[in-house]
Structure formats: C-alpha cells, structure tokens
Amino acid sequence: MADLTHDGAGVVKIDGFPVFVKQALPGETIDVKVVKIKKQYGFGKLIKIHVASPERIEPPCPIYNRCGGCSLQHLSYEGQLHEKQKQVMNVMERIGGFTHLTVHPVKGMTDPWRYRNKSQVPVGEEQGRIIAGFYAERSHSIVDMEACLIQHEDQDRIVNLVKELANQHGIRGYDDQKHKGVLRHVVIRRSRISGDVMVVLVTKEQALPHKEQLIQAITGEVPNVTSIMQNINPKRTNVIFGDKTVCLWGEETIKDRIKGIEFVISAKSFYQVNPVQTEVLYEQALNYAALTGSEKVIDAYCGIGTISLFLAQKARHVYGVESVAPAIDDAKRNAKANHIDNVTFAVGEAETLMPWWYSQGLDPDVIVVDPPRKGCETAMLDAMAAMKPERIVYVSCNPATLARDMKYLSEKGYTVKEVQPVDMFPQTTHVEAVTVMYREG
C-alpha cells in the first residue's frame, strides 16, 4: 500500500485496481473486504492488520471511529506532516503540471491538540434526548460527544452545558429531515489572548424558549463567556448561519490579538481557527510579500482585515476586498482601533471588484489572495494578471484549487519556485499552503 487519498483513506492496489480503505496506512499489510466497486476504483473495509505501519498510533479520541471530524488520528503527527507534504507535491504535479517545484516540509505544531478557537456543533435529538456533536463521515447523523480533542476545553464545557439545559427545559433539537425543532447549532468562539468566549445559539425560529435561564446558566457556569448571541436560520439548508443575528447578552463581538494587532470579530465573520498556526502562516505570507514600505498592495478575500493590517505596517497602501459586509465593518473598525490609516476596505466579490479596480487604473505592486476552498474565479485571475503586479502571494486552504490557479497564472506570465505548506488543521486531512509567484521579465 503506497498512498493516502486527500480525505485520508489508504489506497490499496488489488491487481492494479485502486481500492480506498479508511484508516489503512502506507506500508501496511492488511486484510481488506471490498464493499463497493465503481468503474475506476472501489471502496474497502479494513478487516485485519498483519503488519502495522511504524507510524500507526492508537487514536486518543474515544469516538474517533464514528465521528467524521478528524481522519488522521491513527497516524503519528510526524506521519501526518509527511503525508500532507506528499499530498501538496502530488497536486502540484498532477493538477498544476509543476515538476520542478520545491514543496517544503509542512510547518507543524509543537502540541497538535486542543488548538481550535472555534466550534460549530450541530444539535439534534436521539430517542427524545438532546445530542450534540459532529456528523458521521458522509452523513448527516450526529455523533454525540462529550469532548472534542482538537477544540479548547471551554468549548466542550459549553456544548455539554447547552445540551444539559436543553434537556432540562425541553428545548427541542433540530431535525434536518423534518425541518422541525429549535436548536440547530451551538457555535463557540474563544479569544486566545483574553480567554473571552462568545456563544452563538443558532435557532430555527426567533422564539427561543427559556432564554433567560439559558443565559443565567451559561454565564454562571462559565465566567469567561462575554457574549451570547442568537442567530436565526429558518431555511432548509446545510449553511449554518441565517441572515439575522441578535445579541442576547453581553458584547456583540469578541476581541483577539495576533502579533500585536487587535482584532474585533463578529459572530459571522471569518477568523482563522488555529491561532498558533495563523501566526506562522501570516509570517510566511509577509515574507513572500517582501514589502519595503513603498508598495501598493491588494489583499483579496481579506475577511476582517487580518492580513491587510499586517501588510499595511510595511506598505504604502493596502486595498482589502471581501464579500461579507459585517467582516468589512470589522476590518474598518480594526484598522481604526490599531491606528492604521493606510488601508481601504471594500465590500464585494473579488471577481467583480478586481476588474473594476483595474478599469479605474489601480496598479498594485503586490497582490495577496486568500480565497475559500473553491479558489479564485477566472475573472479574478484575469484581473490579477492584467494588473501586472511584481508578486502574487497566494494563501490557500485547498492545494488542489491552488495548483489549478497557479497553472492558470503561470500561463499568464507568472513563475513559481516553491510552496510552503502550514498545518492549520492537525488530526484532519486539511492542509494550508502559501506560495509566491513572480512576474516574468
């Protein structure tokens, strides 16, 4: 057995035919039961391990085999980093067509547990009892949990408390099949710097029975909760948040600090989930941007302006664009609070706003992009290339779309030498990567 798929399954070749086997590791000798066969590949179940990989470890989480949240806990952390590097190399070659590219070893964590500052936990019911936990793999059935070993202990305490209170007061959990019930998700955010916690209760309707008791119990039991919000999502959808958010108690935002800059974060704004590795990632992006103080910079997909404000300290001016309006409100507030005034933030889709900026004559020296998993739209890539910046720094949470977009940009006259993966999501198969592309000639 040689490889892992992008979602962490082992690839076993049976007479050359690839079969994906969950929790099988490269180098192992195993018995597999083939359970499903498709044209190009099949799926198998791991029955017995005859020779285990030296990298195999006992997964510490008691519900690891059922929960779909993590998929690499059975692999040592060193092994995980090695696999992630291979995964990035693989897509760079296969999707990007880059054969002479250096993919550096993944920058990992010293302690790869309890790192998440954010939890988004689905709530439901099982035999009349409230349950809360992540979905089983490729399903919408909730695996009830007491603890999640990649999130902070405060987050466990709050999930358990909300469950207990909902059971006690008869607040119904949401049933996504029947589209019935009250409580859909508990979303928790924690500031690494202050330990302050924001709790967001996502409900199907505005009415939240026993609201006062909930507030009293949560603030009484977990004193570092500084904000309790309610988000109302009446739609039949997988998207967690609805349009409306109200403050039930305390502050409407939570504050955190990265490398000396303070950030105000609203319930719905994007904020990196691994604060330790965020510093490593941003440091790398800043290095690649190689600013001297005179540059005009665009930070596209800027969220609450995190990367923009770091760049602004070393640039002449930074233009940030982001599609979520409250995130841009946060970004503007963050600039002000940190006395940074050489930034301009705009709400809009990068693929629409960038061509417009280009038509207005904006000519950046450096462009930094940090798009969601699907990567950049073609209109965005075209606008970037048309602006002819010296450097494009690309931060990506999906190496496959990164490789695709790099290939496109390389056809537009940009060259690339190296990619630096950063492990933002230990125990899962996700990997972040950052690279810089230079304009030729």
Nearer to ligand SAH, 30 or 300 (CB): 300
301 binds ligand SAH (CB under 6 A): yes
Q: Cα(112)–Cα(280) distance, rounded to whole angstroms?
A: 14
- What is the b/e burial string over 92-123, where b = at least 16 CB atoms within 10 angstroms of the residue's CB? beebbebeebebeebbbbeebeebbbbbbbbb
Among 273, 282, 268, 373, CA closest to 327? 268
Between 259 and 278, how does the x/- string for binding to ligand SAH read (CB under 6 A)?
-----------xxx------
* Structural contact between residues 338 and 261, judged by C-beta atoms closer than 8 angstroms: yes
Candidates 306, 401, 420, 435; binder of ligand SAH (CB under 6 A) is 306
Nearer to ligand SAH, 30 or 350 (CB): 350
* Structural contact between residues 242 and 202, judged by C-beta atoms closer than 8 angstroms: yes
Residues 143-172 that bind ligand SAH (CB under 6 A): none
Number of residues lying near ligand SAH (CB under 6 A) = 18
134 binds ligand SAH (CB under 6 A): no
Q: Is 301 annotated as a binding residue?
A: yes
Candidates 215, 324, 346, 362; binder of ligand SAH (CB under 6 A) is 324
Per-residue HEC secondary structure of 371-407 comes to CCCCCCCHHHHHHHHHHCCCEEEEEECCHHHHHHHHH
Q: Is 272 annotated as a binding residue?
A: yes
Min CB(282)–ligand SAH separation in Å: 7
Min CB(418)–ligand SAH separation in Å: 21
Q: Are strands 414-422 and 102-103 parallel, antiparallel or unpaired?
A: parallel
Is 247 annotated as catalytic? no
Q: How many CB atoms lie within 10 A of CB 37?
A: 12
Candidates 365, 370, 382, 423; binder of ligand SAH (CB under 6 A) is 370
Contact range with ligand SAH by CB under 6 A, out of 4-12, 171-179, 323-331, 429-437: 323-331
Nearer to ligand SAH, 72 or 321 (CB): 321
Q: Cα(6)–Cα(77) distance, rounded to whole angstroms?
A: 17
307 binds ligand SAH (CB under 6 A): yes
322 binds ligand SAH (CB under 6 A): yes
Among 258, 231, 255, CA closest to 330? 255
The encoded tokens of residue 351 equal: 């693929």
Min CB(304)–ligand SAH separation in Å: 6
Candidates 52, 176, 349, 407; binder of ligand SAH (CB under 6 A) is 349
Among the listed residues 61, 67, 376, 397, the single catalytic one is 397
What value does the CA radius of gyration of the chain take, rounded to a whole number of Å? 23
Q: Cα(296)–Cα(156) distance, rounded to whole angstroms?
A: 44
**Angle, alpha carbons 128-132-138 (nearest 5°):** 105
Residues 371-400 that bind ligand SAH (CB under 6 A): 372
Binding site for ligand SAH (CB under 6 A): 270-272, 301-303, 306-307, 321-324, 327, 349-351, 370, 372
Q: Hey, which residues are catalytic here?
A: 397
